[in-house]
Structures are given as structure tokens and as C-alpha cells.
Amino acid sequence: MLKRIAAGLLAGAAISASALPVSAQPSPVRWNSGGAVWTTKFSDFNDFLKSKDAYSGERGLSSGLAASGWTAKEVQAGLSKTYNVDVVGVTRYLYSKDGVKFLQDQTRSYFPYWAQKATAVQGLRSAIILASVDGKLSSAAIMKNLPVDFRLADTCTTFDGKQNICAKGKCKGAAQCSSLLSWYVFLPACIQANQILDKVTAGRPAAAGAVRGLW
């Protein structure tokens, strides 16, 4: 029964993603500041996650790291960390009233590049659900499953480029509490903590726990 439910929920996520305007190779971030745009592909993030020395690669990611409020090594560890989740519980939450409000809040300045806010909830929801299929959720997996290019917008009059960090009270300073990379570091832990588990799924090893900062 649970397998059939999960299959149906995943099909729904796939349909939602297919309704978005498709990019040939979706990029996790198109950094938009004023009139300038830099694109960071998932391969750039992958190179960063595998790097052992100081990262000096793609310009947008380098700037994002400098403005994150964390050291590069802390961001590296945070983006790679996996959290035990149940895909059914995750999906229940993201389709609930509270979950939709959460997704709307979490896409304050970060949303699909072309359709923008109109498909922000669907785009981020589908990425999180697809990244949860194997019972493990990480920031890197969410990035990899984004259906289209996502944009961090700082356009002065419309969007300020700041993100609403979900783990309130766990961040310190303006950068940690508003930067995109800090937002990504905390996102999987918040999803784990809010997934809606029934008595059957709650008994599995993937039971939710409290948000505990980076690790």
C-alpha cells in the first residue's frame, strides 16, 4: 500500500515539474544582481563539494561563498550532509497548507528564472520530493533535482536577494540568516523536522528529529 501511495505522490511531483518551462541543463543558481547575471551549474557545485583546497572556481559561487556567513569548509559539509526522511511524509508536508506556506516563504528571492514566482512552489517542491526518494535528503540532492534554472534575484526595487532561513535562532549574523548558501545548508534539516509521519512510517529509522544547526 505504502509503495502505491509513494508512486502516486512521485508521479504528481513529476507532473508538476513537467508543467514548468524546461531548461536544457537546469542550473541551481543564476545570481542576479542589478544588471549582472552569473550562472552556476550543478557541475560547479559538484567541483566545489569535491575540492580539498580553497575553492577558486566559478565566479558566482565564489562570491556566494564569500557572502554566506560560513567558511567554505562549513558550507561544503552542510551541503553534503544527508538527513533521514520518508518520501511519503515529506510529500504530505509539502502539499499541506503549512507546507505550501513554507515553500512560499522559502522562495522569497529564489525561484525559477523564467516563470519566476508563478512556479516557485511547484519547482522547489518537486526537487525536494525527488531528492527524498531514497530516504536520504541533502542540499546537494535538492540542487541536482531542480527542474529548471533557479534565480537568486537582487533587483533593487522588486527583490532584495535575501532568503528566509528556515531554522530561526540557529543562524548568527546577517549573512548566515539571509544568504542563499546558508538557506541551502539548513533546508534539509527543516524538511526532516516537519515531515508528516503516520504510526507506520514513524516507526522507521527515518523518524524526524529537531533542527540542530549545520550538523
pLDDT band, very low/low/confident/very high, at 18 (cuts 50, 70, 90)? very low
Average the pLDDT over 130-134 and give the result.
97
Percent of the chain with pLDDT over 90: 67
Q: Which pLDDT does position 20 carry in this prediction?
A: 44
Average the pLDDT over 88-105 and give the result.
97
Q: Which residue has the higher pLDDT, 12 or 139?
A: 139
Average the pLDDT over 71-87 and give the result.
97
Query: What SS3 class is residue 20?
Result: coil
**What nine digits make up the cell of 85?**
526522511
pLDDT at 108 over 90: yes
Query: Residues 126, 142: contact at Cβ < 8 Å?
Result: no
pLDDT at 178 over 80: yes
User: Who contacts 134 (Cβ-Cβ below 8 Å, separation ≥6)?
Assistant: none
Q: Which pLDDT does position 180 carry in this prediction?
A: 97
| Strand ranges for 89-169 from DSSP E | 110-112, 136-137, 150-154
Alpha-carbon gap, residue 20 to 14, rounded angstroms: 10
User: Who contacts 135 (Cβ-Cβ below 8 Å, separation ≥6)?
Assistant: 84, 85, 86, 87, 206
Alpha-carbon gap, residue 64 to 88, rounded angstroms: 33
Residue 202 identity: A
Q: Is the CA virtual torsion 208, 75, 67, 122 positive or negative?
A: negative
pLDDT band, very low/low/confident/very high, at 21 (cuts 50, 70, 90)? very low
Run of H or E residues at 102: helix 97-106
Q: Which residue has the higher pLDDT, 81 or 5?
A: 81
Instruction: Tell me the HSE value of 117 on the side-chain side, using a 13 A CA sphere.
Output: 8
pLDDT at 24 over 80: no
pLDDT at 89 over 90: yes
